Amino acid sequence: MAKSRILTGITTTGTPHLGNYVGAIRPAIAASQNQDNLSFYFLADFHALIKCQDPEQVHQSTMEIAATWLALGLDTDNVVFYRQSDIPEIPELCWMLNCMAAKGLMNRAHAYKAAVAANQEAGEDTDYGVTMGLYSYPVLMAADILMFNANKVPVGKDQIQHVEMARDIAARFNHHYGQHFVAPEAVVDDKVAVLQGLDGRKMSKSYGNTIPLFLTEKQLKKHINKIKTNLLEPGEPKDPDSSTVFQIWQAFASEQQTVDMRQAFADGIAWGEAKKQLFELVNGELAEARERYNELLANPAAIEEKLQQGAEKARSFSSPLLAKCRKSVGIRPIG
């Protein structure tokens, strides 16, 4: 049986945090170990340009995200791990798909609609600050997905619509030019925790409430101490289900450890003590990877080499498929 192809991209605009780790990186690395799958994971640096025009930040983030995945044990012999911009077939396919994508479909994209709504609210022109990059973002994403004939695309809820648009565009291309692409399916894992941040809202770079993944021990301790709690004293029973400390605990703990911590909350564990134990637990899971991460950052050429190897592997898929697409649309040598 052919392996199921799993593909997902990570936009290179920030520094990975605990929420990214628990919600995306850890499950992706686990899925890549399943021999029934062939996983494609890539750094979406072309996508980064849509929302970040700071070149140093795009570059730094690309390096940090690559180092993070490698440090956490992504086995590059088993997966195809690459940087989007190293695959020239992607932007080329993107153009062909642009010529098949209905403008009306793009009008309905959430990210674009949100920008328009914000402009209307502010009394601005509806197109104020809207680039063609933002507008056609879903087409680039469709190219990413269709280029590798991905069957499954693990994403957050906000990205489901984009995967559906990729299906739509694929169907239209296939209908017109013959069968080239499989229909991808978004997979949203409800079991995976959406981590809360320091202030109790969803941990997200845009809220400025994150705990970066690879802090020094001292900084990690400091961040964990900043997690918002209530004023209950030691000895007073505490509600685990409304506590960010407990919620993060649960994302790192074994079942037994979770049961024990729930009991400790009922028994009135002090916030300081709960945070101390949380630090030990998180630090224990990350300490070794942190060392590898720092080694990689000290030797960026090793990261680049991995990405070049990944690009070569990725292009062994993208190059023949693009050649086929070119031919099908009528782009071929004369004579």
Binding site for ligand TRP (CB under 6 A): 7-9, 11, 44, 47, 141, 144-145, 153, 155, 159
Q: What angle do CA 25, 27, 29 make, to 5 degrees?
A: 65
3-class SS of residue 326:
helix
User: What is the nearest approach in angstroms of ligand TRP to the Cβ of residue 112?
Assistant: 13
User: Which residue's CB is nearer to ligand TRP, number 9 or number 240?
Assistant: 9
In 99-210, where does DSSP find H-type helix?
Answer: 103-107, 110-121, 132-135, 137-146, 160-177
Q: How many CB atoms lie within 10 A of CB 109?
A: 20
Q: How far is CA 94 from CA 56, 87, 117, 138, in A?
A: 26, 12, 27, 10
User: What is the nearest approach in angstroms of ligand TRP to the Cβ of residue 177?
Assistant: 22
User: What is the nearest approach in angstroms of ligand TRP to the Cβ of residue 137?
Assistant: 7
User: What is the nearest approach in angstroms of ligand TRP to the Cβ of residue 226?
Assistant: 27
User: Which residue's CB is nearer to ligand TRP, number 89 or number 144?
Assistant: 144
User: Which residue's CB is nearer to ligand TRP, number 8 or number 196?
Assistant: 8
User: Which residue's CB is nearer to ligand TRP, number 163 or number 281?
Assistant: 163
User: Which residue's CB is nearer to ligand TRP, number 170 or number 264?
Assistant: 170
Chain residue whose CB lies nearest ligand TRP: 9
Distance CA 335, CA 332 (A): 9
User: What is the nearest approach in angstroms of ligand TRP to the Cβ of residue 285?
Assistant: 24
Q: Are 61 and 12 in contact (CB under 8 A)?
A: yes
